[in-house]
Amino acid sequence: MTVMRFLGLVLLVCLGLSACAEQAGVPAVGGQARSAGPISEAKGQWREQDHWIPVEGTDQLILMRLCRPNAANPARLVVVNHGSPPNAAQRPNYAPWSCEHRAISWFLTRGYAVALPLRRGYGASGGAWAETYGSCRSPDFVTGGAETARDIRSALAYATTQPGIRRDGAVVLGQSAGGWGAL
């Protein structure tokens, strides 16, 4: 085997492993593999900070934005869950709301911390759309809702381990598919 063929084979193996990692829900970001924990420093009035969080029972990580009030005591948590678009092509464009968003700042000004998970298959979380409900002829909303709930439970479990957030008394809400998963 020539050196060029060997290097070509090594390159193909590396690309194949990279594709496998992406399909496993651990895509590289900025040339580095994801790892659970904060992605950035907390910034702004509401200490907005993005985190990669592990999804229970999987090897996948999803993006979650955490917003914290300026309070001396630990804050109760509100987990706000996005809906699902009518067009699947819109899923990759999803992003968590800013802490400055009117609905989010409403909770923050009342002393609540807010977690905004971006479920599997949406935006930067990427990966396969975990909450698929099958065909319109025979939809399985229970299974889709259970997968949505898995991501929500994972966000709740992770967020309540963060500094300044109470471990009890959380509120979970959402719209559309996020509301179904919250139930």
pLDDT average, residue stretch 132-153: 93
pLDDT at 1: 56
Q: Is the pTM of this model over 0.85?
A: no
Q: Is the pLDDT of residue 14 over 80?
A: no
Q: What's 6's DSSP letter?
A: H
Amino acid occupying residue 76 = R
Residue 60, pLDDT above cutoff 60: yes
Residue 5: per-residue pLDDT: 46
Give the closest residue to 25 by CA, choosing from 55, 60, 1, 58: 60
Confidence tier at 23 by pLDDT (50, 70, 90): very low
Residue 154: its H or E element: helix 141-159
Of 2-6, 27-31, 49-53, 141-145, the least confident: 2-6
Kindly report, residue by residue over 85-99, the tens digit of the pLDDT.
Answer: 999 999 999 999 999
Query: What's the pLDDT at 136?
Result: 86
- For the segment(s) 34-182, the CATH number from 3.40.50.1820, 3.40.1160.10, 3.40.640.10, 3.40.50.620 is 3.40.50.1820
Predicted pLDDT of residue 52: 98
Strands 49-54 and 37-38: antiparallel
Show the tokens assigned to 81. 């869950």
Burial class of residue 153 (count of CB atoms within 10 Å of its CB; 0-12, 13-18, 19+): middle
Cα–Cα dist 57/35, whole Å: 16
User: Residues 28, 14: contact at Cβ < 8 Å?
Assistant: no
CA distance 54 to 63: 9
Q: How far apart are CA 149 and CA 60, in angstroms?
A: 15
Domain borders along the chain are: 1-33, 34-182
Q: Is the pLDDT of residue 120 over 70?
A: yes
Q: Token pair for residue 165? A: 């957030």
**HEC string of 42-86?**
CECCCCEEEEEEECCCCCCEEEEEEECCCCCCCECEEEEECCCCC
Average of pLDDT values for 13-36?
A: 49
